[in-house]
Amino acid sequence: MESLPSDKLKNFQIESLTRDNFESASGVIYIDAPDALENVVQLNRAKLAVATFGGNGVLPNKGSISSTAFTDAPPTGTAIQPAVGEVWMVDLTNINIVNGASGTNNITLQWSDGSETTTIVTAGIAGAATAGVLFDIEKTPEKIAYLTNSLYLTVVGSASDESHLKIPFQMVAQ
């Protein structure tokens, strides 16, 4: 006898269920068990909920501010990188820098995949403890970015003194 869709999902934690789990559980279904139709309806409702709330939707109460210290070393930059399995939605216009250098610090924000980097924007900030949103992100086509463990941001300065970058993020469902 073919197992019921709910049987195929019963060993999963609710927070670990993915769209693929629902798709595989709802494959070919034979309605020969007394409560199989009810299971199909429940599975359909769950698939609808995943499609509505689980596909790149913002996870409530799962945001934070990433605070990262950086200097001029390493030249590849300091990573702002989510953990494996996390996706962060960030607004690039809300990046805040606190300059720890006593003079001018040219700060570069880059995309990285761990082996290659590409510059998003470079800005100069002068004066010790100068702070603020200094990147002119208006020149970039996209203001909202999605960071993953394999595609993330790096920041590097031109001064050896420690500066800090703060970026608010919201976790997103995959």
Does the bond joining 141 to the residue before it have cis omega, within 30 degrees of 0?
no
Asked if 64 and 150 sit in the same domain, the reply is yes
Q: How far apart are CA 12 and CA 21, in angstroms?
A: 9
Q: What single DSSP character describes residue 84? A: T
Q: How far apart are CA 56 and CA 58, in angstroms?
A: 7
* pLDDT value at residue 144: 85
Q: How far apart are CA 101 and CA 65, in angstroms?
A: 22
Asked if 48 and 72 sit in the same domain, the reply is no
Structural domain including 155 reads: 59-172
Give residue for tokens 């590409």. Answer: 118
Asked if 148 and 75 sit in the same domain, the reply is yes
Asked if 138 and 94 sit in the same domain, the reply is yes
Asked if 69 and 103 sit in the same domain, the reply is yes
* pLDDT value at residue 26: 64
* pLDDT value at residue 97: 86
Contact 132, 102 (CB under 8 A): no
Number of residues in the chain = 174
* pLDDT value at residue 30: 56
Can you tell me whether residue 51 is helix, strand or coil?
Answer: helix
Contact 102, 128 (CB under 8 A): yes
Asked if 99 and 150 sit in the same domain, the reply is yes
* pLDDT value at residue 1: 47
Asked if 26 and 103 sit in the same domain, the reply is no
Asked if 89 and 147 sit in the same domain, the reply is yes
Number of domains the chain is built from: 2
- Looking up residue 83, the CATH number of its domain turns out to be 2.60.120
Can you tell me whether residue 26 is helix, strand or coil?
Answer: coil
Asked if 90 and 19 sit in the same domain, the reply is no
Q: What is the pTM of this model?
A: 0.64
Asked if 119 and 41 sit in the same domain, the reply is no
Asked if 93 and 115 sit in the same domain, the reply is yes
pLDDT along the chain (174 residues), means of 10: 63 68 64 67 68 62 88 84 91 84 85 89 75 64 84 91 89 78
Q: Which helix (H) or strand (E) holds 22?
A: helix 19-25
Contact 87, 148 (CB under 8 A): yes
